[in-house]
Amino acid sequence: MLDDGATGVPCAGDALIRSIAALPLSGSTETVYVGMYGMLNGGANLPGHILTATLNPASASMPGWHDLTLNPVTNSPNGLNEFGFDISSIYIDSHDSTGNTVYVTVEGFLSSTEPVQAVYSSTTAARTGRQSRPTFHLPRSTVFSSIRRTRTRCM
């Protein structure tokens, strides 16, 4: 469905979706992000890629999916998920009503041969090459998911 255009044949070489996130937008539409399995377990033609689409449930037409994986990462010489590992989680920041602020985690572990970056963020839905590696001062470890906590002020 997302990678080879085959229809009517379930899982005929298609990449498998590992993670998904959606956020309702104005006008009865919603933005959806999907993260694919990695190259070693079901990634097929899109190993470790992240794709996005805007869906309109009232429309009969299929949405156009955009592959965000090949866009540059502004503060790293490496591309987004350069080693094709699983996209382990996706979080869309609900404080951004456009659905463009997104955080992505990659299931991988940093080593001397594979400098895996486990967390990425974007405030432009990663469409304009503004993806970045946020600095969280976390210990080097495998990341399976992330969540963003915001503070609320009471008056």
In the chain, % of residues over pLDDT 90:
18
Within a domain: 45:
yes
Within a domain: 64:
yes
Within a domain: 21:
yes
Per-residue confidence at 136, pLDDT binned at 50, 70, 90?
A: very low
**Contacts for 30-34: CB closer than 8 Å, 24+ residues apart:** 30/54, 30/55, 30/57, 30/99, 31/55, 31/92, 31/99, 31/125, 32/63, 33/90, 33/92, 33/102, 33/104, 34/2, 34/90
Tally of structural domains, the chain: 1
Spatial CA neighbour of 116 closest among 48, 41, 37: 48
Q: Read off the pLDDT of residues 52-68 as tens digits, 9 standing for 90 and up.
A: 999 998 888 888 888 88
Within a domain: 128:
no
What's the pTM value of the predicted model, to 2 decimals? Answer: 0.77
**Is residue 155 over pLDDT 80?**
no
Within a domain: 129:
no
Instruction: Residue 111: give the domain boundaries.
Output: 17-122
Within a domain: 132:
no
Per-residue confidence at 87, pLDDT binned at 50, 70, 90?
A: very high
Within a domain: 136:
no
pLDDT of residue 92: 92
